[in-house]
Structures are given as C-alpha cells and as structure tokens.
C-alpha cells in the first residue's frame, strides 16, 4: 500500500495548476467547494441543488444535479460555486 499524507504544504490547490479544471475541495468546517468549470459542466451554478452518493463496495463518490428540494443548495460565489 502506498500511503500519501496530505497536509497544508501539498493539499492547497495552485491556481495555475488547477485553472480551468474540474475540482472539489473541502475546508475544515465541511464546506464543499466546486470549481467554476465543474459547476458549469454539471449545470449547477448558484441556486441549483446537488446530491452526493457513495458506493460502499468500490468506495467511489458521485455528484449529480438534483431537481427536487432534497438536494444540497449551491450558493453563488463569484470565484466558484459553493
């Protein structure tokens, strides 16, 4: 097993590296940040809703646009969807 430890030095996205890429970031309070590129591609800009799903067999995570009131609200932010 190759274990990678993430800390402040290697887990902060570099704007040049990630500009225009689909990224998801979490902060210490549990706020999920989607890159603007990802938000546009998924069609979930501010005011939309999303659902998160976890496959317990494979460990994969999924995100999808929600059309009902059960999804998490996506807040509008000029730098990214939040």
Residues 13-61 have pLDDT tens digits of 565 567 778 888 878 888 888 888 888 888 887 778 888 899 999 988 8
**27 token code pair:** 């902060």
Residue 60 lies in a domain: yes
CA-based end-to-end distance of the chain: 34
Distance of alpha carbon 75 from the chain centroid: 12
Give a yes or no: residue 10 inside a domain: no
Domain membership of residue 8 (yes or no) is no
Q: Is residue 31 part of a domain?
A: yes
pLDDT of residue 20: 78
Query: Residue 51: inside a domain, yes or no?
Result: yes
Residue 42 lies in a domain: yes
- What are the φ and ψ backbone dihedral angles of 40, each rounded to 5 degrees? -65, -45
Q: Which residue range is the domain that position 50 belongs to?
A: 18-73
Tokens of 74: 């996506």
The encoded tokens of residue 19 equal 């500009």
How much is the pLDDT for 24? 82
Q: How many domains does the chain have?
A: 1
- Give dist(CA 38, CA 71) in Å, integer: 17
Is the confidence at residue 81, as pLDDT, over 60? no
pTM: 0.59
pLDDT on residue 55 = 92
């Amino acid at each position: 097993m190759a274990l990678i430890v993430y800390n402040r030095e290697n887990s902060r996205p570099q704007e040049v590296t990630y500009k225009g890429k689909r990224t998801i970031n979490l902060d210490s309070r549990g706020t999920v940040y989607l890159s603007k590129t990802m938000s546009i591609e998924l069609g979930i800009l501010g005011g939309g809703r999303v659902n998160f799903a976890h496959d317990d067999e494979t460990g994969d995570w999924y995100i999808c646009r929600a059309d009902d009131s059960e999804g998490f609200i996506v807040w509008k932010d000029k730098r990214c969807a939040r």
